[in-house]
Amino acid sequence: MKQFEEDLFSEKDKIAASSLVVEGSVDTRHGPILYMEDVSVSFDGFKALNQLSLYIDAGELRCMIGPNGAGKTTMMDVITGKTKPDTGSVFFGQTIDLLKMDEPAIAQAGICRKFQKPSVFDALTVFENLELALKANKSTWKTLFFRLNGEQRDKIEEVLATIGLTDCIQQRAGILSHGQKQWLEIGMLLMQEPKVMLVDEPIAGMTHQEVERTAELLLSLQGKHSIVVVEHDMEFVRSIARKVTVLHEGSVLTEGTMDEVQNDPRVIQVYLGG
Burial class (CB in 10 A: 0-12, 13-18, 19+), 100: exposed
Query: Superfamily assignment of 31-121+194-272 in CATH?
Result: P-loop containing nucleotide triphosphate hydrolases (3.40.50.300)
Lowest-confidence pick of 28-42, 93-107, 125-139, 171-185 = 125-139
CA distance 126 to 134: 13
Closest CA to 35 of 90, 75, 74, 88: 90
**What integer pLDDT is reported at residue 197 of this predicted model?**
97
| 194-210 per-position pLDDT tens digit | 999 999 999 999 999 99
CA distance 77 to 40: 12
H/E run at residue 85: none
For the chain, what is the mean pLDDT?
87
Lowest-confidence pick of 5-14, 38-47, 60-69, 71-80 = 5-14
**What integer pLDDT is reported at residue 230 of this predicted model?**
96
**What integer pLDDT is reported at residue 273 of this predicted model?**
57
Give the pairing type, strands 111-114 and 196-200: parallel
| pLDDT mean over 179-196 | 96
Q: Which residues pair with 196 in a beta bridge?
A: 111, 226
Instruction: Annotate 231-271 with three-state secondary structure.
Output: CCCHHHHHHHCCEEEEEECCEEEEEECHHHHHCCHHHHHHH
* Confidence band, pLDDT 50/70/90 cuts, at residue 247: very high
Lowest-confidence pick of 54-68, 146-160, 174-188, 237-251 = 146-160
Lowest-confidence pick of 9-23, 30-44, 72-86 = 9-23
* Confidence band, pLDDT 50/70/90 cuts, at residue 148: confident
**What integer pLDDT is reported at residue 116 of this predicted model?**
81
H/E run at residue 22: none
